[in-house]
Amino acid sequence: VYLTDNVERTSPLTVSNGQTLYLCLSGHSITKTTQDSSNKMEGVIKVNDNAKFILSNCKEGGTITHASDQSGNKLIGRGVMVTLGTLIMYGGEISGNIMYWDGGGACVNGSFIMYDGTIKGNKAEANGGGGVYVSGNKFAMYGGEISGNETSGGLTSSNNSGGGALINTTSITMNGGIICGNQASGTGGGVHIANYVAELSGITITNNTCGADKNGGRVSLYNCTIKLSGAVNISGNVSGGTISNGSLSGGTANNIYLPTGKTITISSELTSTTPIGVTTQTVPTEANYVRIASGNQSYAIPEKFKYENDDTISISVVPRSNSSNFVDLVACSHSWGTNWKSDNTNHWHECSICKGKKDSTVHSFDQEIVNEAYLEDSATCTSPATYYKSCVCGQKGTDTFKSGNIDSANHTASLGEWQPDGS
């Protein structure tokens, strides 16, 4: 179906059980002019069991939205409602919709795949997913934009979550696109992810905000695992800030929030140059560190992460005793030793809490320190002491520094007969 003009409807456009609707907005809008009751929640587009709604737009403009009443207030009703079906977006816009409960822009119980298009300016008044709420089978985002959406109301932080999107599906992939400028009065201003494994690569989540006493300005995790790879950009998200006309002000840095026991898995190289900010429910102390991520030592780079809101806590590498390649990244309030630790090639100072390293440097054997620690073998009456160039950490080099007869004070036995050499 290609729209040839703007459309107004008093009832949902329904995709019946088992059917597929391909809809190109062609720059035009579908506007619902009636309001849903709190228990009806049908949407502008209604997708029934095992049905598919595939949205595109071959021209600029056009949206799926609700009209306003005589006072200028938006009528209640979400943009798209999917019941045990599939929503696929190749383009188009879902905007300006308000719902009492989950998913102001789109509520999908099934699968939602987003290649392009925009979901913006929607609102869930008393629950999660101002832009998108997805439960069931799959959420995949490869492009497009989820922006300027909002959750509000007086419910607890387990609700009012995910200003941009609240995701609770068995398969979660974010491999492109932008989630920005969303706001939640609960947790997860950008995204709230619950219960499953989420894979993030090439996604930008920025300038989102959550409630002042909540967590996860950008990404909030509940009982789930997050895997990061590629050019992931999660930055500029806060708790307690405000968004006005797309601009973020105030608030406390709060990008990825990790509940106790939850960590990030780094599945391949992270190529973004902006460190990913992390806040943890369990705060590192002078006695204990907190693990935030793990992965192959080639990918688990401390500089790719930053512990937020406390400059005394930093990120370091902790090797695993049962693996030569797999390491943990930990947040630690370091207590650095003053004595050097070393191996065959490097020396460093070690943290007494996490055993992390700093000042790691390759050995330099130019410290001509005369000390018995650098003897090749013990001096005797007939064997002179041999000294070697050493490193500042105490490692002995291979170049001889000094070799000569021992001091007479080292003689402890009675002198024997004269011993001659050739001259």
Q: What is the pLDDT of residues 381-417, one digit of tens each?
A: 556 666 677 788 878 777 766 655 545 555 566 667 8
Residue 165 confidence (pLDDT):
74
Nearest to 289 by CA among 322, 333, 242, 347: 333
Residue 407 confidence (pLDDT):
52
Structural contact between residues 125 and 98, judged by C-beta atoms closer than 8 angstroms: yes
Structural contact between residues 187 and 221, judged by C-beta atoms closer than 8 angstroms: no
For the stretch 301-315, pLDDT in tens is 999 999 998 999 999
Contacts of 49 (CB under 8 A, 6+ apart): 17, 18, 83, 84, 85
Q: Is 86 exposed, middle or buried (0-12, 13-18, 19+ CB in 10 A)?
A: buried
Residue 249 confidence (pLDDT):
75
Identify the segments of the chain with pLDDT beneath 50. Answer: 153-160, 216-217, 369-377, 406
Residue 84 confidence (pLDDT):
92
Nearest to 105 by CA among 43, 158, 190: 43
Q: Which one-letter DSSP state was computed for residue 74? A: B
Residue 372 confidence (pLDDT):
44
- What is the pTM for the complete model shown? 0.81
| HSE value, Cβ hemisphere, 13 Å, CA-based, for 34 | 10
Residue 258 confidence (pLDDT):
86
Instruction: State how far Cα 1 lies from the chain centre.
Output: 39
